[in-house]
Amino acid sequence: MAKCKTIFVCSECGNESGKWLGKCPACNSWNTFYEQKIIENKNSNVKLSDKSENVPQKLNSYIAKETIRTSTGFSELDRVLGGGLVKGSLVLLGGEPGIGKSTLILQICDKVNGDGKVLYVSGEESAEQIKMRADRLGINNEDILFLGETDIDIVNQAIINVNPKLVIIDSIQTMYSEEISAAAGSVSQVREITSQVMKVCKSKGITTIIIGHVTKEGNIAGPRVLEHMVDTVLYLEGERYFSYRILRGVKNRFGSTNEIGMFEMREEGMCEILNPSDILISERDDNPAGSCIVSAMEGTRPILVELQALTSQTVFGLPKRTANGIDYNRLALLIAVLEKKAGLMLGSQDVYLNVVGGLKINEPSIDLGIMMVVASIYKNIAIPKDMVVIGEVGLTGEVRRINLIEKRLKEAEKLGFKTCIIPESNKKVLKEKYKLDIIGVKNVNEAMKRIGIK
């Protein structure tokens, strides 16, 4: 007879304990132990020969099945997914509360109209609340079935009976299983429920989208093991006071993990932005000092964004550095290079940097743009409005080569820019001809002279 044993496992390092501990003795993490039940079978002395044989075979002998995809109706989302939703895949959509996850999912349910039934399972909202949102978004799909339930056994039975093409679970933290004694939303509950849903949907070939809330640290609430269990992990990001939303692919077994899709939250719901660069720089009418256009790659897509900088005399003798949209440490490093290699006395200046549009960029190709925009506001000399600055900067002030330069130049050319400053090493290997005036620079001082700051 099977015997059930309870252990506690650290979600950070996997350390096991017979009782719950507030602090893990192995990795010193706090509040990371979660309950896990293990079923021990006393009749486990079965000979290996009695079990069914599963003989290893050559990989080349297997025939790969054709991947069947379904369009979500959003070209931006399809690109992030690698071409659409894969049949039988399990997708995890995470994001902060109120960011627009349920709105986007409901619009996807409407877009698959005529392709099969859609089962929308909600443990947070009632049918009346979902219907009110659907009416506001103009959704009128007769194939959408709603189930307001939190018991995973009832949900699994409904999936088997309906056999839909798409299943939505909103959200995974509200579901519970009677087999686990922990409360709904706990680590053990979330893991067990995801495992059950995966078994049912994989066996039936049903595409499933699970919605998960994000904690203050930016992780999916519950165990990180969730991200290892599912096929695709998507994060919906955005600032609370901005209408733009970025859908970022963190994991994807059927496509690239570096793609992003841009949306705008409007009254009629989520609207995809097909040309983010044009939107992000559309309000740049005049040409003040402290403004610069840079090119950043998000997956395979080049995006032109505006950087703004401001310097002011520090009051207390301790200069302040504030970065919004880029890494603070990166800004401090680049300011130090400006002081040492370009001779700008920024030790007595407070420096503020902002990425317009609420975007967050970690790519090093905007290094040169950051330095030029800071030098521009410090010298009170405007950078030409039709110029794009691209390049990574090293600690010795050299401008280093970047990747995918051709795509960046084509995007700048398409939006009507006339001049582009790039690393000299990139300019030497250019094969195509552009309408842009391409200027290659080797170091920071040369870039400042070309712009006219120094």
- What element of type H or E holds 297? strand 291-298
77 residue type, one letter = L
pLDDT interval class at 64 (50, 70, 90): confident
Q: Which pLDDT tens digit goes with each residue over 110-147? A: 888 666 789 999 988 888 999 999 999 988 888 899 99
Examine the pLDDT at 40 and tell me if it is beyond 60: no
Give the lowest-confidence range in 43-52, 157-166, 362-371: 43-52
* For residues 199-204, average pLDDT: 90
Structural domain spans, the chain: 2-43, 69-274, 279-451
The CATH class of the 69-274 domain is alpha beta
**Percent of the chain's residues with pLDDT above 70:** 90
What pLDDT score does 47 carry? 47
Cα 250 to Cα 150: distance, rounded to the nearest angstrom: 27
- 8 Å CB contact between 232 and 252: yes
What pLDDT score does 3 carry? 58
pLDDT interval class at 434 (50, 70, 90): confident
**Percent of the chain's residues with pLDDT above 90:** 43
What pLDDT score does 446 carry? 95
What pLDDT score does 224 carry? 60
Q: Which fold has domain 279-451?
A: Ribosomal Protein S5; domain 2 (3.30.230)
Residues facing residue 30 across a β-bridge: 23
* For residues 85-97, average pLDDT: 89
Greater model confidence, 95 or 395:
395
Which runs of consecutive H residues, i.e. helices, occur in 28-175? 75-81, 101-111, 127-137, 152-162
Owner of token pair 């099969």: 116
What pLDDT score does 213 carry? 77
Q: Is residue 122 classed as helix, strand or coil in its secondary structure? A: strand
Closest CA to 391 of 364, 417, 431: 364
**Alpha-carbon dihedral 318, 322, 327, 331, rounded to 10 degrees:** -60
The DSSP-derived string for 157-223 is: HHHHHH--SEEEEE-GGG-B-TT--SPTTSHHHHHHHHHHHHHHHHHHT-EEEEEEEB-TTSSBSS-
Kindly report the average pLDDT of the chain as a whole number.
Answer: 85
412-417: long-range contacts at Cβ-Cβ below 8 A with a sequence spacing of 24 or more? 412/295, 412/304, 412/388, 412/436, 415/277, 415/278, 415/281, 415/304, 416/386, 417/293, 417/386, 417/387, 417/388
What pLDDT score does 44 carry? 44
What pLDDT score does 223 carry? 46
* For residues 160-176, average pLDDT: 90
What pLDDT score does 287 carry? 80
What pLDDT score does 48 carry? 46
Going from the C-alpha of 96 to that of each of 219, 290, 301, 311, 367, the distances in angstroms are: 10, 33, 25, 33, 30
Closest CA to 220 of 251, 195, 245, 243: 251
CA atoms within 13 A on the CB side of 132: 5
* For residues 256-276, average pLDDT: 86
61 residue type, one letter = S
Examine the pLDDT at 51 and tell me if it is beyond 60: no
Instruction: Look at strands 291-298 and 269-272 and give their pairing.
Output: unpaired
pLDDT interval class at 308 (50, 70, 90): very high
- What element of type H or E holds 38? strand 33-41
Going from the C-alpha of 263 to that of each of 107, 272, 357, 415, 454, the distances in angstroms are: 13, 4, 12, 20, 40
Give the lowest-confidence range in 4-18, 233-247, 380-394: 4-18
Q: Which pLDDT tens digit goes with each residue over 359-399? A: 888 899 999 999 999 999 999 999 999 999 999 999 999 99
Cα 428 to Cα 441: distance, rounded to the nearest angstrom: 11
Examine the pLDDT at 1 and tell me if it is beyond 70: no
Examine the pLDDT at 37 and tell me if it is beyond 70: no
What pLDDT score does 20 carry? 87
pLDDT interval class at 10 (50, 70, 90): confident
Greater model confidence, 49 or 84:
84
Residues facing residue 292 across a β-bridge: 307
150 residue type, one letter = T
